[in-house]
C-alpha cells in the first residue's frame, strides 16, 4: 500500500500508542488507522495521565493540514474529509468503505493535545460536523459585525444580544428600542 499523500512511498506498520498500530509513511509521517482496531484499543487502553476530561491543553501547536482530497490506499475510493474543530483547520480523511482513517503527519499529536485522541469516531459524526459549521458561521457573523461597527460597538452589541437572549421581557425591550 502506498501513502495516499506522497503516493510513491510504501506504508509501513507503526505504533501510535501502546496497543494501537497503524501504517505510516516515513516521508510525510501520515498514518492510516483502521477504526475497528482503533475502537478496540480506545475501549481497553487505560486513560492517559494528562486526562481526557476538561479543557483542551493550552499549548496546542498548529499542524499543517493536507487540504487536497485523498484516495484510500486500500480501495482507491475518494476519502471523505471531516473537520476536527476545536479551533483548528485540520480535517481527518475517512474511507467509509474500508473504515480506515488517514491522519496527516502531526495530527495524532494534535488530537492528543485537543484531548480527542480517545474520541476519534465522534469526529466522523454528523452532529460533530454540524456543530463545527454552526460555530464557523457564528464566527463569520461576528467578524462581519466587527468590520461594520468597529471593535467597541460590536462588543456592546454582542453583550446586548446575550443579555436579551432568554430575557423574559425580550419583546418589550425590542419594541422599546425600535420606538420612533
Ligand atoms: Zn506520505
Ligand atoms: Zn477504502
Answer whether residue 83 is part of any domain. yes
1 C-alpha vs ligand 2 centroid, how far in Å?
Answer: 11
CA 71 to chain centre: 20
The domain of 172 spans 130-178
Whether 138 and 173 share a structural domain:
yes
**How many CB atoms sit inside 10 A of residue 97's CB?**
12
Whether 102 and 144 share a structural domain:
no
Answer whether residue 4 is part of any domain. no
Whether 134 and 117 share a structural domain:
no
Separation CA 47–CA 43 (nearest Å): 10
Ligand approaching nearest to the C-alpha of 74: 2
Whether 81 and 27 share a structural domain:
yes
28 C-alpha vs ligand 1 centroid, how far in Å?
Answer: 4
CA angle centred on 79, ends 73 and 85, rounded to 5°: 125
Answer whether residue 93 is part of any domain. yes
2 C-alpha vs ligand 1 centroid, how far in Å?
Answer: 8
Report pLDDT digits (tens) over 84-93. 998 898 999 9
Residues ≥6 apart with Cβ < 8 Å to 133: none
Report pLDDT digits (tens) over 46-103. 766 555 444 555 567 778 877 788 999 999 999 999 999 988 989 999 999 999 999 9
Report pLDDT digits (tens) over 114-168. 999 999 999 999 999 999 999 999 999 999 999 999 999 999 999 999 999 989 9
132 C-alpha vs ligand 2 centroid, how far in Å?
Answer: 25
- The residue among 80, 106, 125 that closes a domain is 125
3-class DSSP state of 61: coil
Ligand approaching nearest to the C-alpha of 76: 2
Question: Grid coordinates 460555530 are at which residue?
Answer: 135
Please, are residues 67 and 50 in contact by the beta-carbon 8 Å criterion?
no
Tell me how many domains the chain contains.
2
Amino acid at each position: 500500500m502506498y501513502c495516499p499523500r506522497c503516493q510513491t512511498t510504501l506504508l509501513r506498520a507503526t505504533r501510535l500508542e501502546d496497543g494501537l498500530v497503524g501504517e505510516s509513511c516515513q516521508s510525510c509521517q501520515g498514518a492510516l488507522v483502521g477504526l475497528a482496531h482503533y475502537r478496540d484499543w480506545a475501549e481497553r487502553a487505560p486513560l492517559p495521565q494528562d486526562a481526557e476530561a476538561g479543557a483542551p491543553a493550552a499549548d496546542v501547536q498548529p499542524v499543517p493540514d493536507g487540504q487536497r482530497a485523498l484516495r484510500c490506499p486500500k480501495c482507491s475510493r475518494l476519502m471523505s474529509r471531516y473537520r476536527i474543530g476545536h479551533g483548528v483547520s485540520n480535517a481527518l480523511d475517512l474511507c467509509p468503505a474500508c473504515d480506515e482513517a488517514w491522519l496527516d503527519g502531526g495530527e495524532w499529536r494534535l488530537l492528543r493535545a485537543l484531548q480527542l485522541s480517545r474520541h476519534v469516531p465522534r469526529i466522523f459524526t454528523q452532529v460533530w460536523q454540524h456543530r463545527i459549521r454552526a460555530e464557523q458561521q457564528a464566527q463569520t457573523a461576528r467578524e462581519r459585525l466587527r468590520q461594520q461597527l468597529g471593535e467597541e460597538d460590536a462588543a456592546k452589541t454582542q453583550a446586548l444580544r446575550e443579555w436579551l437572549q432568554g430575557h423574559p421581557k425580550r419583546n418589550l425591550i425590542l419594541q422599546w428600542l425600535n420606538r420612533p
